[in-house]
Structure 1
Amino acid sequence: MIIFILIINIMVLSSCSFNNQTSSDKLVARLGDNYLYKSDLKQLNNYNLDQYDSIYIYTQFIENWAKENLILNKALINLDIKDLEIEKRVESYKNSLLIHSYEQNLIKQKLDTLVSINEITEYYKNHLDDFILSNKILKIIFSEISIYAPQIDSMKFWFFNSDSIYFDKIEEYSYQYSKRLFYNQDEWVTIYDLEEFFANKIEFYNLTDKNNTIFIEDSLSYFFIRLTDFKDVGSYAPVDYVKKDIIEIILNKRKLKMIEIIKNKLFDDAKKSNIFEIYENI
C-alpha cells in the first residue's frame, strides 16, 4: 500500500516544476520547503534491477531523504550552531581531504615501491616476535581423482611413499586425471582455511611429520591429501608466509618518511623566504 501511494504521489507531483530546476525536471517528493527531483535519483539508474526491486530501492531512497531532512530540521531548531563551530569543522575536514589527496599523489609519483629480499629478511630478523603464529599453517598436496582413472594403484604408491622423488610423478598424474587439485609447494594455508574448504569433514590437526597423509574415498572419487610442511601455533611464521605483510610495513614506513621529509622541506623553505614567522609576543 505504501509503495502504491508513493507511486501515485510521484505521478501527481511530476507535473510540477520550480524556479531552481529546469522545466523538464520532475518533482518526486516534498518535505516542507525541501524538494526532491527526479534528477536527484539519477544515481539509482546504474543498478540493473527488475521493476519490483526498482520500486523498493526508489522508495527506500526517498524515505531516507525525508528522514535525514526531518532530523536535520530538528537539529537546526534545538542546537546552537555557534557552539558547534560547524564552519571550523568543515574547513578542517576540507583541509584534511586536500592534504590527504596531495600526499597520495606525491606517493604515486615518487615512492620507491621496490623492496629487496635483503630488506625483507632484515626486517623479519629484527621483528621476529611480531611474527609468532596464532594458527597452525600447512603446505599440502590435494588431489581428487575419479575411481575410474587409470593406474590408480601407481598413484597410491607414489602418494603414500615417504620419498619425495615421487612428487613429480604425483604432479604429472594429478594434472592429467584430477577433478580438483591443489599443488603449490610455495603456498602456506591455515588449518582453518582447509577445514572450511573441506566443510570440517577432515581432521587436519592429525597431520604430522610421521602421519602426513590422508586418504578418503566415496562412490565416485578418491581424495588424496599429503602434508609436505607445517608450523605449529606459537612458532615463528616462515618469512615467505609473512613476506607480503613485511613489504606493506616497509612501504608504509617509506610513505611516512617521505611525507615527513616533504613537510620539513616546505617548512624550512617558508622560514628562509620569510613566508613563515613566529612572533615573540605569544
Structure 2
Amino acid sequence: MTLTHIFKTKANRLLVVFFTFILVLSCDMIFKSEVEKQPLARVGSTYLYKEDINELLKNNISKEDSASFVTNYINNWATKQLLLSKSKINLPQEKLQEFNDLIENYKTDLYTRAYKDALVSKSEDTIISNAELTTFYDNEKENFKLKEKLVQLRFIELPLEFINKENVALRLDRFNATDRKFLDSIGIQFRKLNYNDSIWVRASRVINEIPPLTLENEDRYLKKSQFFELQDSLGVYLAKVSNVLNPNDISPLSYIKPTIKQVLLNRRRLALIRKLETEIIDDAIKDKEFQVYGQD
C-alpha cells in the first residue's frame, strides 16, 4: 500500500466526520445572514466587521485604550484597502499579472508543502542507528574539520572564602574513586562544578564560564593534561584539562553526532518526498486523472 493510499483512507474518514459536522451546523445557520454582522467600516464593497477585531482586544484593556486601538486599527485597515484598490487601477496590467502569478504559486506551494509534510510525517522513520552514524562519519569525516578549539575538562568554582581549597584542587587533579566520592560529599559548597570530562566543549564556552580565562591567555591554560587555578573578585576556578582538539582537527563523532543525525534525517525525508511524488504521478496515470497529450 502506498503512502498516498494510507493517507487517503484516513483522510476520507476525517472528511465524513467533517462534512457531517458542517451539515448539522448549517441547519442552525441557514437562516442567518451576514446582515446580522455589525460593520465598523467600509471601503468600496469591502467591510470590516466588529467580530474581525474582537479577538484582538484584550480582556484587561480599558475602554479608552480599546477605543483608541479600534480607531487606529480601522484607519490602518482602510489605508491598506484604499492602497490595494488604487494599485489595481494604476499599476500596469503586466505587473498585476506578475503579482497574481506569484500569489497563486505561493498558495500552491503552501498547500502542497503541507500535504507532503502530513504524508511524510506519518511514514517517516526518525530512528538513526549507531551503525548509520558511524558509517556516515567514516565516509565524510574530512568534511567535519573543527573551526574552533574543543576541550574536555573537569571544573569547580569555589567561593573566595572557601577554606580547604588545596585539598579540593589535589582531589580534582587526581580524581580517583575516593576523590570523586569526597568531592560529591562537599559539592553543595561549590558555586559550580562539572566532573564529566568525557564531553567535548567549545573553548569559547569554557572562557564564558571562567572569567579570568580569555582569548589571549587560553593557549597557556587550555592544554592537554593541564591543571590550572585562576581567581578574580568573584571566585576561585579550578580545572583539569583532559584533552584538547584544535581548529582543523577532525571533529570527534560524539560531538558531531547531532549534526550527522540531522543530515541523515533530511536525506531520508527527501527520499520519501521523491517517492511520494512518483507515487502520485503513477496513481494519477493509472486512474486516468493525469494525461500528457502528444505534441506536433
2:192: which partner in 1?
A: 180
Contact 1:141 1:184 in 2 (8 A): yes
Contact 2:151 2:244 in 1 (8 A): yes
Change in Cα spacing, 1:192 to 1:44, as seen in structure 2 (3 Å) is: farther
Q: Which amino acid aligns with 1:232?
A: N
Change in Cα spacing, 1:272 to 1:107, as seen in structure 2 (3 Å) is: closer
Matched, 1:260 2:271: no
CA displacement 1:67-88 (0-9 Å, x = unmatched):
5345424422321346533444
In structure 2, what is the Cα distance between the partners aligned to 1:88 and 1:197? 53
Contact 2:228 2:240 in 1 (8 A): yes
2:246: which partner in 1?
A: 232
Contact 2:146 2:248 in 1 (8 A): yes
In structure 1, what is the Cα distance between the partners aligned to 2:167 and 2:59? 54
TM-score normalised by structure 1 residue count: 0.73
Counting aligned pairs with the same residue, the percent is: 26
Matched, 1:134 2:147: yes
1:89: which partner in 2?
A: 102
Give the 3-state SS of the residue equivalent to 1:228 in structure 2.
Answer: strand
In structure 1, what is the Cα distance between the partners aligned to 2:286 and 2:36? 54
Change in Cα spacing, 1:51 to 1:274, as seen in structure 2 (3 Å) is: closer
2:176: which partner in 1?
A: 165
Q: Which amino acid aligns with 1:145?
A: L
Give the 3-state SS of the residue equivalent to 1:242 in structure 2.
Answer: helix
Change in Cα spacing, 1:90 to 1:178, as seen in structure 2 (3 Å) is: same
Contact 1:171 1:183 in 2 (8 A): no
2:290: which partner in 1?
A: 276
Deviation at 1:197, TM superposition (A): 4.2
Deviation at 1:158, TM superposition (A): 1.5
**Counterparts of residues 1-282 of structure 1 (less than 5 Å):** 22=36, 25=38, 27=40, 36-45=48-57, 64-81=76-93, 83-85=95-97, 86-149=99-162, 151-159=164-172, 161=173, 163-165=174-176, 168-169=180-181, 171-173=183-185, 175-198=187-210, 201-203=212-214, 204-206=218-220, 207-216=222-231, 218=233, 221-282=235-296
Change in Cα spacing, 1:126 to 1:42, as seen in structure 2 (3 Å) is: farther
Query: Which 10-residue stretch deviates more, 252-261 or 164-173?
Result: 164-173
In structure 1, what is the Cα distance between the partners aligned to 2:169 and 2:129? 42
Q: Identify unmatched segments of 5+ residues in structure 2.
A: 1-32
TM-score normalised by structure 2 residue count: 0.70
Contact 2:212 2:230 in 1 (8 A): no
Point out which structure has higher relative CO (alpha carbons under 8 A, 6+ apart).
2
Q: Identify unmatched segments of 5+ residues in structure 1.
A: 1-18
Deviation at 1:243, TM superposition (A): 0.6
CA displacement 1:176-216 (0-9 Å, x = unmatched):
32122334434332222333444x54223431125342332
Higher helix share goes to which structure?
A: 2
